[in-house]
Amino acid sequence: MRAYINNKPFDFDQEITILEAARQMGFFIPTLCAFKPLCHTPGTCAVCIVRVKRAAGQELTLTSCKTPLEDGMEVDTISSQVKKMQRTQVALIFADHD
């Protein structure tokens, strides 16, 4: 199977998340999954959101830590739109903490 992350092909033959695939390719996606003081289930902070276009043409914003990569998927992790959404998520999380 083949997907594209930031317009670069990524071949895979087993289930892997978008986050895992992006890391294997050397792309940085911010996460808070391992930040224990936050005490949350992975995916709930949504700091790792990315833009995805599925093979069927459907465009979505998804959390990369919980979303399996699919054949034909096109993932954007680096555009200014994605970076702005990630910064907004961090701001929303910290707005609730002193």
Domains along the sequence of the chain with CATH: 2-95 (3.10.20.740)
- pLDDT at residue 25, rounded to an integer: 98
Q: How far apart are CA 32 and CA 30, in angstroms?
A: 7
Are residues 63 and 69 in contact, defined by beta-carbon separation less than 8 angstroms? Answer: no
Q: What is the pLDDT of residues 38-50, one digit of tens each?
A: 556 666 788 999 9
- pLDDT at residue 82, rounded to an integer: 97
- pLDDT at residue 38, rounded to an integer: 59
- pLDDT at residue 44, rounded to an integer: 74
Are residues 79 and 49 in contact, defined by beta-carbon separation less than 8 angstroms? Answer: no
**Which residues of the chain, if any, have pLDDT below 70?**
34-43, 97-98
